[in-house]
């Protein structure tokens, strides 16, 4: 069975490289590409890929985890594999919680990527044993649980955006942004934007 794949990365050169790798396997067909999470959701509604290979860091309002959440709500829902350079327990856990079928680092072999796509298309979880163990360990450790939207807001705060700018970026009202920040401050046990950014980086919630 040929596995249809959609590539998501905001760097065209990276997409071209991954496409070249995947085209070496006759059992994989790259049916589309997207440069953002928003583009990916629209493309999946039309193309219906079996698997989406998605970068973790994307330009626009949706990162790889938020994109995974949105894609898994589609009908039919594609399997999603995160392909990234970020080897961070928090990122891995967030991806798995969002419904990702796998989490791969960009330094893995082409064969590993290809095999993982076939595994994900067959409905299997694609995580190296040591990575799976790290996920289980992280789940046992008490930590503040921020929603996908709260993380998006926090990441934009860290980038120096004001509440009004965040509202425009995420298509929210300024009041909604303020509410999200109140929740973030409470969960992190801080009382300012600066402290929230520092604490979130210490915990690996944002980079």
- Here the CATH number for the domain that contains residue 194 is 1.10.10.10
Beta strand pairing status for 102-105 and 28-34? unpaired
Q: Is 177 left (phi over 0), alpha (psi -120 to 50) or beta?
A: alpha
- Which of 109, 140, 171 represents a domain boundary (last residue)? 140
Mean pLDDT of 171-199: 93
> Based on the domain organization, do 9 and 71 belong to the same domain?
yes
> Based on the domain organization, do 69 and 165 belong to the same domain?
no
d(CA 194, CA 100): 31
Q: How far is CA 68 from CA 36, 37, 53, 163, 179, in A?
A: 12, 8, 10, 25, 24
**pLDDT higher than threshold 60 for residue 141:** no
In eight-state DSSP terms, residue 102 is: E
> Based on the domain organization, do 20 and 121 belong to the same domain?
yes
d(CA 3, CA 101): 15
The pLDDT of residue 37 is 93
Mean pLDDT of 122-149: 75
Mean pLDDT of 133-159: 80
- Which of 89, 108, 140 represents a domain boundary (last residue)? 140
> Based on the domain organization, do 97 and 48 belong to the same domain?
yes
Least confident range of 25-29, 123-127, 139-143 = 139-143
- Residue with the bigger pLDDT between 91 and 172: it is 172
> Based on the domain organization, do 127 and 158 belong to the same domain?
no
**pLDDT higher than threshold 60 for residue 89:** yes
Q: Is 105 left (phi over 0), alpha (psi -120 to 50) or beta?
A: beta
Q: Is residue 207 part of a domain?
A: no
d(CA 62, CA 47): 20
Task: Name the residue range of residue 28's domain.
Answer: 3-140
Q: Write down the pTM of the prediction.
A: 0.69
**Residue listed under structure tokens 């942004």:** 177
> Based on the domain organization, do 94 and 49 belong to the same domain?
yes
> Based on the domain organization, do 134 and 182 belong to the same domain?
no
> Based on the domain organization, do 152 and 136 belong to the same domain?
no
Mean pLDDT of 113-121: 95
Mean pLDDT of 157-178: 94
The pLDDT of residue 177 is 95
> Based on the domain organization, do 89 and 34 belong to the same domain?
yes
> Based on the domain organization, do 172 and 156 belong to the same domain?
yes
The pLDDT of residue 97 is 84
Least confident range of 42-56, 77-91, 134-148 = 134-148
> Based on the domain organization, do 113 and 158 belong to the same domain?
no
Q: For the chain, what is the domain count? A: 2
The pLDDT of residue 142 is 54
> Cβ neighbours of residue 62 under 8 Å, at least 6 residues apart?
36, 37, 38, 41, 70, 152
pLDDT in tens, 55-81: 998 987 789 999 999 999 999 999 999
What the block records as the tokens of 140 is 């046992």
């Amino acid at each position: 069975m040929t596995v249809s794949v959609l590539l998501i990365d905001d760097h065209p050169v990276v997409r071209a490289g991954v496409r070249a790798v995947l085209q070496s396997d006759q059992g994989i067909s790259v049916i589309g590409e997207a440069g953002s999470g928003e583009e990916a959701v629209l493309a999946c509604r039309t193309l219906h890929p079996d698997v989406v290979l998605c970068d973790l860091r994307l330009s626009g309002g949706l990162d790889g985890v938020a994109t995974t959440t949105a894609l898994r709500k589609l009908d039919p829902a594609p399997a999603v594999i995160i392909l990234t350079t970020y080897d961070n327990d928090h990122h891995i856990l967030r991806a798995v919680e969002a419904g990702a079928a796998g989490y791969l680092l960009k330094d893995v072999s082409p064969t590993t990527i290809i095999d993982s796509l076939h595994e994900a298309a067959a409905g299997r979880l694609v995580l190296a044993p040591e990575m799976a163990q790290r996920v289980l360990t992280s789940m046992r450790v008490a930590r503040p649980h921020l929603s996908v939207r709260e993380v998006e807001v926090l990441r934009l705060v860290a980038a120096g955006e004001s509440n009004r700018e965040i509202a425009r970026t995420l298509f929210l009202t300024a009041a909604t942004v303020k509410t999200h920040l109140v929740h973030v401050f409470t969960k992190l046990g801080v009382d300012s934007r600066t402290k929230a950014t520092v604490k979130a980086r210490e915990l690996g919630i944002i980079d």
